[in-house]
Amino acid sequence: MLLSMNWIGDFVDLSGLDRRALIGRFTLSTAEVEEVIEKGADTCGVIVAKILSVDAHPNSGKLHLLKIDTGKEVVDCVCGAPNVRPGMKVAFAAVGASVSGNKIGKAEIAGYPSFGMCCSEAELGISADHSGLMEIEDDIPLGTDLKSVYEIDDLLFEVDNKSLTNRPDLWGHYGIAREFATLANRPLRPVPAHPTAQYDKLPALKIDVKEPDLCFRYSGITVEGIKTKKSPVNMRIRLFYCGSRAINLLADLTNYVMMELGQPMHAFDRRRVGQVEVNRFPAPFVFQTLDGAERNVDENMLMICSKGEPVAIAGVMGGLASEIEDDTDTLFLESANFNGISVRKTSSRLGLRTDASARYEKMLDPELTVPAIERFLDLLFQAAPDAKVTSRLTDVYVHKFEKITLEIDKAFVDRYTGIDISCDQIAATLTSLGFGVKRNGTAFTVDVPSWRATKDVTIKADLIEEITRIYGYDNFKITTTLSPLHPVRAEVPATDAKRIKDLLVERFSLHEVHSYIWSDSAKDKLLGIETPVNVRLINAQTPEHSSFRISMIPTLLSFAYENKGFAEAFGLYEIGHTVDGLLPDGTCNERKKLGVVLFDRTVNEETLYYRAHEMLIAIFRTLKHRSPDFVSAEPRFNWQHPVNLSEITLDGKTVGFLTTLHPSVRGKVDKKAAILAFELDMEIFSAISEKPLAYKEPSRYPGIDIDLSFSASVGALDFAAVETAARKVAGEYLKTVSLTDLYDGENGESVTLRFCFSSSEKTLARTEIQPAVDAIVAALSADFGMTLKTV
């Protein structure tokens, strides 16, 4: 929203103050100013002059040769404007003047000398009208500096509408002026008004509000005999500077009052609208708004009707059929207050946001409707003195907001602010902002003014904001708290995630990536990955991103594919969220997961497999002091390998999986690379308790290592099972079992296991452990068909 300091100056005297500094204070105390714009500074020396004569230009059909009387002299001027005529008063920039930054000099135009330029309003920068020269009123003396008659000089500033969402009172210059008055500590002047009590004897208008929940107040009045069609120049300049466009007197007046008081108004042609009903329609229909567009109005939208015919979409836009036309001289003026939520819904359903709807959405003060009419009439009678009011001011006020009174005291303010703001300052600030303040010692009874009471200021904390923002946050003394400190221990899931990241990055040189919580079915398709059916978003940007991911791996595979040129070998991981269908209560089964993908063109798949395996063991051993089990599993996704897929389990709970890629997918990611993937469910992982460290004194006696080689059938070795079986029969001296060699031969596997025996009490003799060795050999033979190889 663009705001004019001239306009604000109508209501608060800011003379002698640095206006730019005040605008800076406005940013810190009210709302952020995005831009300050100086208007008129690049135009100077433009005066009022008169065209004495108009001659055709011999060399041009469009140009004219003018004699111009500047009041001091008569000069020649070549002019191309179509509306030149002798006797016309114009804005003339003589040699030496500047017009919107262009310096005017003596010129020769099509062979004839020209000593200045007659200006259009667009050239002067005060309107968009470049259809012809600006015509100056006849009673202004020749030679008068245009700037002394018209408000060409102004200082504007722009405030983002979003930062005024909570302040319905700031949607017009008067509310802004109230802020400036408070910031500058100067009085706020009342809004000029044309009193309407004098018309109370005239007939009332028929106004029927059938939806009191949607229309809180409807005030109207009718006027006839409006001869003037064009608004005063200064009004048009202000409207133009503030981003509006001049249309005709009545439309301009409604816009002007809206931009001044924040109250939207609508001017109906009295010939079309003589009475109104505020109502909804039972069935949808098409309505043509005054911008010419056809709108699909439905049964939820509040309409203004006249004798059953719709004439406006309440609070949004009027209809084309009842708009002010060139010959309109009678007026039905609407000044109403509508439910903000209803206007917002209608406006968003129609996709039509207007200056009026933007204001109504904020819940305007219903008290504004009558002052707005009185201000409108005040301005109207200045521009059109012959106009005549033909009805009483008819006011249907169906919903009043409750009066809000708040009790606060200085202790409350001190507690919230942490600083000492004096009682005098509290009272002065609130009073200046229009609050009613009754002070009793250090306690205050505060009446919230109607323009802040629709939703903005409702509780005591709201008053804190009023007091502190005017006090200025940059004036605050800042202090630490005095709260007692307590030890804080991070929770297991957080530390688990942190330590896994550290392990993967610092020990295994993996790269952490981030991706999205949804599947990307287009990227999946590229790699031959079937995007699984899963819970979906209603309003995804593209249909490819509408389904949540179940596994982290597909995204990581896409990243691996896209990073093929980065290095011959790399590893990626992400700890992110996934959704695995719905829980029985209907909520999403959101799972936090670690996904890892290894990509390597320098080693074979088996080597990479054991590297991934090692990472998993490292994660479990480091964080939980235990090793997981790997259990063969059936693929759930088409990218998982049917053979080399294992579930990672611990205590019977599945924590995740380790897999190579199905050849159909692996080939699409890269023809030459080995690719491995594993995933852990972080919640299940974190629920596994860390095995406490149990220190065992190392034996001070030498142990005996026994290496035994066995034959076994291919793929039969289940090391964990073998170890368990051996321990079961070996007795107390067996300390560790390790794999020293594994060889796949034609006729089966050759496995060499090392059994370490030791005692903490004595040096063992070979004979003492021989029974254990024999038992192990027997057990492995019986349980796994492993036969001892004789050397």
User: Between residue 542 and residue 561, which ones bind other proteins under the rule CB under 8 A?
Assistant: 555, 558-559
CB of 537 to other proteins, least distance (A): 5
Among 537, 643, 716, 782, which residue sits at the site for other proteins (rule: CB under 8 A)? Answer: 537
Considering only residues 459 to 518 of the shown chain, the ones binding other proteins according to CB under 8 A are 459, 461-462, 464-465, 468-469, 473-474, 476-483, 485-486, 488, 490-491, 493-494, 498, 501, 504-506, 508-517
Cα angle: 7, vertex 253, 384; to 5 degrees: 110
- At position 732, the amino acid (one-letter code) is E
CA 105 vs CA 90, 96, 134, 721, 776: distances in Å: 18, 6, 20, 102, 113
Cα angle: 667, vertex 671, 673; to 5 degrees: 105
Cα 279 from chain centre: 34
CB of 530 to other proteins, least distance (A): 21
Q: Backbone phi, then psi, for 82, in 5-degree steps?
A: -80, -20
In 455-524, beta strands by DSSP E: 511-512
> What is the 3-state secondary structure of 386-423?
CCEECCCCEEEECCCCCCCEEEEEHHHHHHHHCCCCCH
Q: Which of 437, 500, 489 has its CA nearest to residue 463?
A: 437
**Sign for the pseudo-dihedral over CA of 315, 320, 321, 326:** positive
Counting residues that bind other proteins (by CB under 8 A) gives 87
Q: Does 32 bind other proteins (CB under 8 A)?
A: yes
CB of 83 to other proteins, least distance (A): 42
CB of 305 to other proteins, least distance (A): 25
Beta carbon nearer to other proteins, 4 or 29: 29
Beta carbon nearer to other proteins, 602 or 664: 602
Q: Which of 463, 398, 405 has its CA nearest to residue 436?
A: 405
Q: Does 160 bind other proteins (CB under 8 A)?
A: no
Considering only residues 313 to 352 of the shown chain, the ones binding other proteins according to CB under 8 A are 341, 344-345, 348
Contact 692, 731 (CB under 8 A): no
Beta carbon nearer to other proteins, 211 or 718: 211
- Of 383-391, 427-435, 562-570, 755-763, which segment contacts other proteins by CB under 8 A? 562-570
522 half-sphere exposure, CB direction, 13 A CA radius: 5
Considering only residues 354 to 383 of the shown chain, the ones binding other proteins according to CB under 8 A are 361-362
Cα 652 from chain centre: 47
Contact 452, 405 (CB under 8 A): no
- Of 141-149, 385-393, 567-575, 712-720, which segment contacts other proteins by CB under 8 A? 567-575
Cα 372 from chain centre: 33
Q: Does 419 bind other proteins (CB under 8 A)?
A: yes
Beta carbon nearer to other proteins, 481 or 632: 481
Beta carbon nearer to other proteins, 417 or 699: 417
Q: DSSP for 638-703, please give it.
A: TTEEEEEEEEEEETTEEEEEEEEE-HHHHHHH-SS-EEEEEEEEHHHHHHSPPPPP---PPPSS--
Among 10, 13, 27, 193, which residue sits at the site for other proteins (rule: CB under 8 A)? Answer: 27
Considering only residues 183 to 202 of the shown chain, the ones binding other proteins according to CB under 8 A are none
| DSSP secondary structure code for residue 760 in this structure | S
- Of 56-64, 135-143, 395-403, 455-463, which segment contacts other proteins by CB under 8 A? 455-463
CB of 348 to other proteins, least distance (A): 8
Beta carbon nearer to other proteins, 112 or 412: 412
As given in the structure block, the two tokens for residue 167 are: 């302040």
Among 183, 276, 572, 615, which residue sits at the site for other proteins (rule: CB under 8 A)? Answer: 572
Site string for other proteins, 118-157 (x = CB under 8 A): ----------------------------------------
> Could you tell me the strand order of the sheet in which 405-409 lies?
405-409, 443-447, 436-440
| DSSP secondary structure code for residue 507 in this structure | I
Beta carbon nearer to other proteins, 19 or 67: 19
- At position 319, the amino acid (one-letter code) is G
CB of 644 to other proteins, least distance (A): 23
- Of 23-31, 377-385, 425-433, 668-676, which segment contacts other proteins by CB under 8 A? 23-31
Beta carbon nearer to other proteins, 381 or 570: 570
Beta carbon nearer to other proteins, 381 or 508: 508
Contact 332, 273 (CB under 8 A): yes
Among 309, 407, 562, 707, which residue sits at the site for other proteins (rule: CB under 8 A)? Answer: 562
Q: Does 31 bind other proteins (CB under 8 A)?
A: yes
Q: Which of 741, 742, 743, 740 has its CA nearest to residue 756?
A: 740
Beta carbon nearer to other proteins, 275 or 515: 515
CA distance 8 to 155: 10
CB of 361 to other proteins, least distance (A): 6
Among 189, 349, 536, 727, which residue sits at the site for other proteins (rule: CB under 8 A)? Answer: 536
Considering only residues 57 to 86 of the shown chain, the ones binding other proteins according to CB under 8 A are none
CB of 271 to other proteins, least distance (A): 38
At residue 197, the 3 state secondary structure works out as helix
Considering only residues 250 to 269 of the shown chain, the ones binding other proteins according to CB under 8 A are none
Pairing state between β 653-661 and 674-681:
antiparallel
- 735 beta partners: none
**Which value, in Å, is the radius of gyration of the alpha carbons in the chain?**
42
Among 197, 538, 694, 765, which residue sits at the site for other proteins (rule: CB under 8 A)? Answer: 538
Q: DSSP for 302-342, please give it.
A: EEEEETTEEEEETTTEEBSTTS--TT---EEEEEEEE-HHH
Beta carbon nearer to other proteins, 162 or 696: 162
- Of 37-45, 255-263, 445-453, 578-586, which segment contacts other proteins by CB under 8 A? 578-586
Beta carbon nearer to other proteins, 516 or 743: 516
As given in the structure block, the two tokens for residue 785 are: 């068909």
> What is the 3-state secondary structure of 550-586?
CCCHHHHHHHHHHCCCCCCEEEEEEEEEEEEEECCCC
Among 540, 716, 720, 739, which residue sits at the site for other proteins (rule: CB under 8 A)? Answer: 540
Q: Backbone phi, then psi, for 74, in 5-degree steps?
A: -115, 125
Q: Does 522 bind other proteins (CB under 8 A)?
A: no
Considering only residues 587 to 606 of the shown chain, the ones binding other proteins according to CB under 8 A are 587-588, 590
Beta carbon nearer to other proteins, 51 or 358: 358
